[in-house]
Amino acid sequence: SDEELDRRISAAKAQLGDDLVILGHHYQRDDVIRHADFRGDSLKLARIGAEQRDAKYIIFCGVHFMAETADTLAADEQIIILPDLKAGCSMADMADIEDVEEAWEVITEKFGDTVIPVTYVNSTAAIKAFVGKHGGTTCTSSNAHQVLKWAFEQKKRILFLPDQHLGRNTAFEMGIPLEEMVIWSPGSGEFEQQKGDLEDVRMILWKGHCSVHQKFTVEQIDRLRKLDPEINILVHPECCFEVVQASDYNGSTDYIIKKVAAAAPGTKWAIGTEVNLVQRLAQEYPDQQIQLLSTTMCPCLTMNRIDRPHLLWTLDSIMDGNPVNQIEVDADTIYWSKVALDRMLAV
């Protein structure tokens, strides 16, 4: 039963004591995040993980790239565990290292030494290592503006991976017109949506997206505004350009949480991000009116793979002395992805 699962998870945590830390991403289900010692967005959790030097085991309730980042920043002897190895991220999977290496050859042949690669942290450790090796860095949705500003101080052009929407939305807000952006399509090996002269291009956007945030539409915004003109539309910058332009506010997971926390009682919100977070905000702020932007549920299916049976299974395996689902990034990849992450942290 659910009670039995909760009881056994709590008992295992008590037995493992300071040897164990459980991290939970904001998109996790309520019944899982309740057992997390710390909750946060991907960057905050990676940083917290790195500070937990006394913990032998870190169970990361999130998705694969987040656990890889935690392993990159953790001490060598610490063990990072992902309760379900199938908890990947469809966006991170859209930038395959071989495709990126191939693209880089074409891009540098065309643009010479004028391009710096920047990857959203929602990418594999191999991609982070690639950008580290080529003078680039990582960014999160919280610091994308600062990181892109830094990157443009280094080079005229940015290759932005893997989320075209975060790249386009951020660059546009910084004053780069759409005419100076192109999409790199890994399948076709060609630049798409070329509106201006290729010589003027500043942003090369990898053709990746988040399957959850791509579901929000301008029609949903128009419909809700018609029903209630006072509603505030708040969306994540992984949503497409048209949705972000039609919204009142856009920002990272951290921004969304802070925006709601700072609002007056009675404020009405329609939020375009993962449903678990929106439902939790609605529970935590009952004096505000909070709803999901879409009428259909938008769960991140991979985040939702982490459930209590998987969490308990990993805890049991630690107690049996044979921890399952360890996330181990190889030493060379760790070295270069750390170079990329450290450049971001310095910015």
User: Which of 16, 32, 42, 341 is close enough to bind ligand 13P by CB under 6 A?
Assistant: 42
Does 210 interact with ligand 13P (rule: CB under 6 A)?
Answer: yes
Q: Which is nearer to ligand 13P, 42 or 119 (CB)?
A: 42
The answer to whether the annotation marks 25 as part of a ligand binding site is yes
Closest CA to 33 of 86, 83, 73: 83
**Rg of the chain over CA atoms, in angstroms?**
21
Minimum gap (Å) between residue 250 Cβ and ligand SF4: 15
Tell me the backbone φ, ψ of residue 197, rounded to 5 degrees: -80, 135
Enumerate the β-bridge partners of residue 183.
192, 205
* Using rule CB under 6 A, residue 238 touches ligand 13P: yes
Binding residue for ligand 13P, selected from 78, 137, 138, 252, defined by CB under 6 A: 252
| Residue 91 Cβ vs ligand SF4, minimum distance, rounded to whole Å | 4
288: its two tokens: 């505000």
Cross-strand partners of 60: 23
**Does 64 appear as a known binding residue?**
no
x/- track of binding to ligand SF4 for residues 85-104 (CB under 6 A): ----xxx-------------
Q: List, in order, residues 6 or more apart from 109 with CB less than 8 Å away.
A: none
333 binds ligand 13P (CB under 6 A): no
Ligand-binding site membership of 294 (annotated): no
DSSP H helices in the chain: 2-16, 30-33, 42-51, 64-73, 90-93, 97-111, 125-133, 144-154, 164-173, 218-227, 241-246, 253-261, 275-284, 308-319, 331-346
Q: Based on CB atoms, which residue is closest to ligand 13P, 12 or 164?
A: 164
Distance CA 231, CA 224 (A): 7
- Please spell the DSSP secondary structure of 3-21, one letter per residue: HHHHHHHHHHHHHHGGGEE
Interface with ligand 13P, residue 141, by CB under 6 A: yes
68 near ligand 13P, judged by CB under 6 A = no
Part of the chain binding ligand 13P (CB under 6 A), chosen from 9-17, 41-49, 72-80, 215-223: 41-49
Q: Using the rule CB under 6 A, which residue among 60, 274, 278, 308 binds ligand SF4?
A: 274
Distance CA 65, CA 93 (A): 10
In the sheet with 289-292, reading across from the earlier edge strand, the strands are: 249-250, 232-235, 268-272, 289-292
Tell me if 41 contacts ligand 13P by CB under 6 A: yes
| Minimal distance, residue 310 CB to ligand SF4, in Å | 17
Residue positions in the annotated binding site? 25, 42, 89, 120-122, 141, 210, 236-238, 253, 300
Residue positions in the annotated binding site for [4Fe-4S] cluster? 89, 210, 300
Which residues of this chain interact with ligand 13P, rule CB under 6 A? Answer: 41-43, 122, 140-141, 210, 238, 252-253
